[in-house]
Structure 1
Amino acid sequence: MLSFDKKDSFVFFTYFASFAVIVPLSGLYLNNSGFDTKQIGIILGIATLTRVLGPYIFLFLAKIRKDLIGVGTIQCILLLVATILGGLFNNNVIAILALCLTNILWVSILPNLETVSLSYLKGDINRYSTIRMWGSIGFIFVSLWASYVIINFGSKFFWYILIVLSVLQIVSVSSLKNFGPFPVKENQRKIFRLERGLLGYYLVFFLFEMSHAPYNNFFSISLVEHGYSGLYVGSLIAFSVVCEIVTFAKGSVLLKYFDVNRILIFCAITAAIRWLLLEYYISNLFLLTFSQLLHSFTFALYHICAMHVLSRNATQDVLGLRQTTYTVFTMGIAAAIGSYLSGILWHNVLLNVSSFITVGVFSAIISLLLVIFIMISERKHKNTLNYYKIN
């Protein structure tokens, strides 16, 4: 029988292969379907906001069934139904509905996957990083050719690709059932309770995700507008994830030598630089490629830090709540607001800049200031661990 690490790696591989289609290519799919940038921003904002619904609903279901793997398999089956709905009907209203359902179900899977992984690994960030690295490999595997297929063969392939990936997710998630049901206890924390000591970090994570919204939604569209081919689009996205893989493989080592807040400050500064490069040098292939290299810091290293913070002093039940809240704040609310603002401010006449600046850079700067504030606040506590202690 394959080990947990290998099967869990396949789970992350299939999940983030879907990520490679849903996040960077939804805007391209809508653009090829005839929507303008403002409409795309509104549609993606609504579709992304619906992500808030899924995680808490399925966390509640997991508490009732006491089986994270069983609930995860149900989520994957429902995701397959949503993607089939989008692929079957040639109607914009149904396509938008299917996109909303896909976002609800797809995002709600992630907290369960993270909780199962970190619980089984007992918070071992080194093993987690190696497993999570396979998610990045799955992202590369799809992003190399998905954008090319959608651009050259039609927007319907957006759904056809997702249908295949949804089937693979069902297979991969259900394969973990032999390692236990991973029960969720009923008698611990309330589902919607927030921990005071983590509120500042949740806001930082919120701003980081908002900072990425213009990139996630309009990067591929911007490349096409500047004359890059579908192959270039896929290759540049894939290159960013290659850098991400290296960071996931080795990045956790930095936590042994640097305080997590200092790393987050570095990530925020790097993010601001990255969006500035995309704003002013997107036609320069060298600087454009360099900006993709920075993905290893603006996403991968940041994510390692986030998982490190959330796994501190956490039982499985508490970890499940934290992961759900993290997903709702970042991939739900922050991504929705960022998507909406990105569409509205994509070609901002008043400031003469795109949303790479108005949303991306500004969010990164605010997150930088907030991390500095958290770092100063923590220094006032004699024992930093008490700051995270669950009361």
Structure 2
Amino acid sequence: MTSATIPARRLAGFYLAYFAALGAFSPYWSLFLKARGQDVAAISVLMSLWYGTRIVAPSAWSWLAGRSKRPIHWLRGGCVLVLGSFLLFLLPLGFHGLFAAMCVFCFAWNAVLPQFEALTLSHLGARSERYGRIRVWGSIGFIAIVAGFGFALDRLSIDWLPWLMLPLYVGLVASSFANDYGASARTPIHGGGATFRTQLLQREVILFFVVTLLAQVSFGPYYTFFSLYLEHHGYRPSTLGAYWAIGVAAEIALFFAAAWIFSRLDARKVLLFALVSAALRWWVTALLPENVPLMVLAQTTHALNFAAFFAACMQLLVRWFPGPANAHAQGIFYGFSSGLGGVLGAWLAGALWHVDEGRAAFLAAGAVAAFAAALCALSLRASIRGPA
């Protein structure tokens, strides 16, 4: 497959819209929920739905799409459902209303990205190293919105947040209708289940999913309470946005360099480096939140513990599950690793938030990341000795 056959701009456009919306949600949604009168316990429950629906939504939606003659309909339908459910947040909802709206919204949101990852890889084929150059536009959208919204919310009430986010979801729907799967992924999966299960149950693959689950657990305090944690230490919304933006700026640089990195390092080694950097990042965040230079340095490691980690996961998934099977593997990856791992991470954050003003949550996150790194190192040693 030549680069001329890859619809890079259309693919990049979807990532731009999707992660721009995420750039508004991740740093500021907990502040919006707080303004709606929700306490820390309620926010923890509501934000856990972001991860809880990942357990079911990616695999269920991908399973249905994989057996459809037109799988793109499931992607587009999911995006329309995202927009429709988001409109509910414009209403003055209490906890139970917010809970119901979050269930639908988070389910739809988590259903669409694994499908689009498979769609992108179906166009890239053997050129999977080009993934970073396309996915980077998601990071660019994220950083633009997280910084812009930070300055806007210094001047506007946080109650304006859903109205500011609404155009981003309209753009997501439009982009979904501008894309379609590559020819290699348009054939429904009716057979090959036994082969897929055999590959899924390989020791190296099982350990990969465990490691990625633990990595997502370690991100729980960051995704759930990082903005509240910094606010507690005296940071303004624009500064919160700047910290998020620093991390994503480093992520952008990494994605541009991804092809060069993976031509020189095996994806499993990159995964190990990412996990070690995550452990150090969470420990710095826990112990030195008011040390601006070190916090800036910790945020730049996002290039490793998110961007390099994620790019390495995509490389390994396309290696182990090529062709139409990749959509199913993506669903399992998002459902088990991101979904279950995210729920456990949000629970960890909520359970430890009141211990030592949130510091204990980030200390525990660092310990989880360090344990994941140890498992990854064992897997790497085993693979060097030979296949299981």
**TM-score, normalization: structure 1?**
0.90
How far apart in 1 are the matches of 2:225 and 2:335? 22
How far apart in 2 are the matches of 1:379 and 1:179? 34
- Please list, as runs of the form range in 1=range in 2, the aligned pairs for 1:325-336 lying within 5 A after superposition: 325-336=332-343
State the partner residue of 1:246. Answer: 253
Structure 1 residue matching 2:142: 3-state secondary structure: helix
State the partner residue of 1:186. Answer: 190
Aligned-residue RMSD, C-alpha: 2.4
Report the Cα offset of residue 150 of structure 1: 4.9
Task: Tell me whether 1:165 sits opposite 2:168 in the alignment.
Answer: yes
Correspondence for 2:21 among 13, 18, 27: 18
Correspondence for 1:174 among 162, 177, 180: 177
185-194 vs 77-86, which deviates more? 185-194
How far apart in 2 are the matches of 1:64 and 1:195? 19
State the partner residue of 1:374. Answer: 379
State the partner residue of 1:293. Answer: 300
State the partner residue of 1:41. Answer: 44
Task: Tell me whether 1:355 sits opposite 2:352 in the alignment.
Answer: no
Task: Tell me whether 1:87 sits opposite 2:60 in the alignment.
Answer: no
CA contact (8 A) 1:89 1:95 kept: no
CA contact (8 A) 1:130 1:248 kept: yes
CA shift in 2, pair 1:124/1:260, >3 Å: same
Task: Tell me whether 1:364 sits opposite 2:361 in the alignment.
Answer: no
State the partner residue of 2:323. Answer: 316
CA contact (8 A) 1:149 1:157 kept: no
Unaligned runs of 5+ in 2: none
Unaligned runs of 5+ in 1: none
Report the Cα offset of residue 340 of structure 1: 1.4
Task: Tell me whether 1:257 sits opposite 2:275 in the alignment.
Answer: no
Report the Cα offset of residue 149 of structure 1: 4.2
Structure 2 residue matching 1:67: 3-state secondary structure: coil
CA contact (8 A) 1:69 1:177 kept: yes
State the partner residue of 2:118. Answer: 115
CA shift in 2, pair 1:221/1:190, >3 Å: farther
Report the Cα offset of residue 331 of structure 1: 2.5
1:73-119 Cα offsets, whole Å, 9 max, x none, are 11000111110112234333212221222211111111111101111
Report the Cα offset of residue 182 of structure 1: 3.1
Report the Cα offset of residue 352 of structure 1: 8.7
Structure 1 residue matching 2:219: 3-state secondary structure: helix
How far apart in 1 are the matches of 2:74 and 2:118? 13
CA shift in 2, pair 1:187/1:151, >3 Å: farther
Structure 2 residue matching 1:176: 3-state secondary structure: coil
CA shift in 2, pair 1:233/1:91, >3 Å: same
Structure 1 residue matching 2:379: 3-state secondary structure: helix
How far apart in 2 are the matches of 1:267 and 1:177? 32
Task: Tell me whether 1:144 sits opposite 2:117 in the alignment.
Answer: no
The sequence identity of aligned pairs, in percent, is: 24
CA contact (8 A) 2:49 2:106 kept: no
How far apart in 2 are the matches of 1:315 and 1:65? 18
How far apart in 2 are the matches of 1:192 and 1:223? 44
Structure 2 residue matching 1:312: 3-state secondary structure: helix
